[in-house]
């Protein structure tokens, strides 16, 4: 007799288990738990979105309201899907179409669009966006036998050239100025006229020297002509370059008609490169110290040399060439300086060669064609 027949005969056979009803109960409990978890996720995400709104209302305002509607319509979604959708909206990203999740490609695209919109309106300044400003300085009346014949005329004629032919917005001229007047003029140029993207033109005609690696332009009313006192009595070219380089995207043209030869010059005799003097000819260590702006620095002659006199004419040889070539239309700044160098070199029978150094990266045309 089988075990089943024996249990049936003894009355110990247990009734069969109704698994179908148990399966329904388990499924119902699972649905309730899933629904509770989904609502917990929704509540958490809504609180987080509200926090994002309080922190960044301008960025997340429109997207948050859309996210709330999306969460409400997706109550039947799985918790992971709801969390993915809500987290995407918390970052200010709209949900694509009517789908409940955001793909990786869509997120990357939206992130790049967000970065572009964040930089909207923040445009880096470009050269040409600012004013064209110029400062021209000429000093003749140096003490004793150090007087120079052409410098005031050079400054005045360069002022007229910048104003009438080169069409600069602001042009200032200083004649026979002391140190304070020169420093004030540079500061005024810096504070009131130069802008990001400006073209700045600085011209000096007069005595200039270099001492212990620093170049100086010499003003009037120096209380001492000793080399050791240049730092306090003269105007450092490094100071001028530093003040002009405080702006972005500017091009600074610095032309220094110095290093004049003067056989009657006693006051600054050692400063002309004479043997025994510690001062050297102007410009051997001339360099731009700024990184924001671009510079072209021009000298009347090679660094460490002296320029030839031109006593019988209105202007110096170098300034005469500048006035002749700067207004020519259609030339770039580099082409103009090359033409000036060739002109002076030929006129002086190869005795004087203008020198320039440039870190200009723009195609600067002073007079458009």
Query: Alpha-carbon distance 147 to 352, whole Å?
Result: 21
Q: Of 79, 110, 141, which residue constitutes the final position of a domain?
A: 110
Q: Is the pLDDT of residue 277 over 70?
A: no
Q: Are 134 and 322 in contact (CB under 8 A)?
A: no
Please tell me whether residues 302 and 236 are part of one structural domain: yes
| pTM, two decimal places | 0.65
| Residue 359 exposure: Cα atoms within 13 Å on the Cβ side | 13
Which has more confidence, 204 or 144? 204
Report pLDDT for 128: 85
Please tell me whether residues 169 and 239 are part of one structural domain: yes
Q: Of 78, 110, 142, which residue constitutes the final position of a domain?
A: 110
> What DSSP line would sit under 73-126, residue for residue?
HTTTS-HHHHHHHHHHHHTT-PPPTT-SS--HHHHHHHHHHHHHHHTTT-PPP-
Most confident by average pLDDT, 101-105, 195-199, 206-210 = 195-199
Please tell me whether residues 340 and 294 are part of one structural domain: yes
**Residue 204 belongs to a domain with what CATH number?**
3.40.50.1460
Tens-place pLDDT, residues 81-132: 444 444 444 444 444 444 445 555 655 555 555 554 454 455 567 888 899 9
Q: Is the pLDDT of residue 226 over 60?
A: yes
Instruction: Show the domain range for 72.
Output: 19-110
Q: Is the pLDDT of residue 175 over 90?
A: yes
Please tell me whether residues 215 and 293 are part of one structural domain: yes
Tens-place pLDDT, residues 43-93: 766 777 666 656 554 444 444 445 445 544 544 444 444 444 444 444 444
Report pLDDT for 212: 85
Q: Is the pLDDT of residue 264 over 50?
A: no
Query: Is there a domain that residue 24 lies in?
Result: yes
Which has more confidence, 119 or 296? 296
> What total number of domains does the chain contain?
2
Report pLDDT for 239: 94
Please tell me whether residues 143 and 188 are part of one structural domain: yes
Query: Is there a domain that residue 295 lies in?
Result: yes
């Amino acid at each position: 007799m089988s075990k089943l027949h024996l249990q049936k005969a003894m009355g110990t056979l247990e009734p069969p288990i109704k698994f179908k009803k148990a399966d329904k109960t388990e499924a119902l409990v699972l649905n309730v738990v899933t629904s509770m978890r989904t609502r917990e996720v929704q509540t958490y995400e809504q609180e987080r979105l509200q926090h994002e709104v309080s922190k960044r209302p301008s960025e997340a305002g429109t997207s948050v309201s859309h996210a709330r509607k999306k969460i409400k319509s997706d109550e039947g979604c799985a918790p992971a899907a709801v969390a993915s959708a809500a987290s995407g909206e918390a970052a200010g990203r709209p949900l694509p179409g009517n789908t409940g999740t955001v793909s990786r490609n869509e997120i990357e695209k939206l992130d790049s669009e967000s970065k572009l919109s964040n930089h909207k309106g923040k445009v880096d300044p470009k050269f040409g966006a600012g004013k064209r400003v110029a400062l021209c300085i000429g000093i003749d009346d140096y003490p004793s036998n150090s007087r120079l014949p052409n410098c005031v005329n050079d400054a005045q004629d360069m002022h007229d050239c910048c104003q009438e032919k080169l069409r600069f917005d602001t042009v200032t001229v200083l004649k026979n100025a002391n140190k304070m007047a020169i420093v004030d003029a540079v500061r005024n140029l810096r504070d009131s006229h130069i802008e990001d993207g400006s073209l700045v033109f600085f011209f000096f005609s007069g005595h200039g020297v270099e001492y212990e690696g620093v170049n100086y332009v010499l003003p009037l009313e120096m209380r001492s002509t000793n080399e050791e006192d240049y730092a306090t009595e003269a105007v450092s070219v490094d100071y001028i370059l530093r003040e002009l380089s405080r702006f972005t995207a500017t091009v600074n043209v610095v032309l220094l008609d110095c290093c004049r030869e003067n056989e009657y010059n006693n006051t600054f005799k050692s400063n002309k490169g004479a043997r025994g003097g510690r001062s050297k000819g102007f410009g051997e260590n001339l360099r731009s110290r700024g990184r924001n702006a671009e510079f072209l620095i021009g000298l009347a002659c090679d660094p460490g040399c002296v320029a030839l006199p031109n006593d019988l004419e209105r202007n110096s040889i170098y300034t005469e060439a500048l006035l002749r070539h700067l207004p020519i239309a259609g030339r770039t700044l580099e082409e103009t300086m090359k033409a000036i160098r060739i002109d002076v070199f030929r006129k002086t029978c190869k005795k004087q060669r203008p020198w320039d150094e440039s870190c200009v990266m723009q195609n600067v045309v002073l007079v458009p064609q």
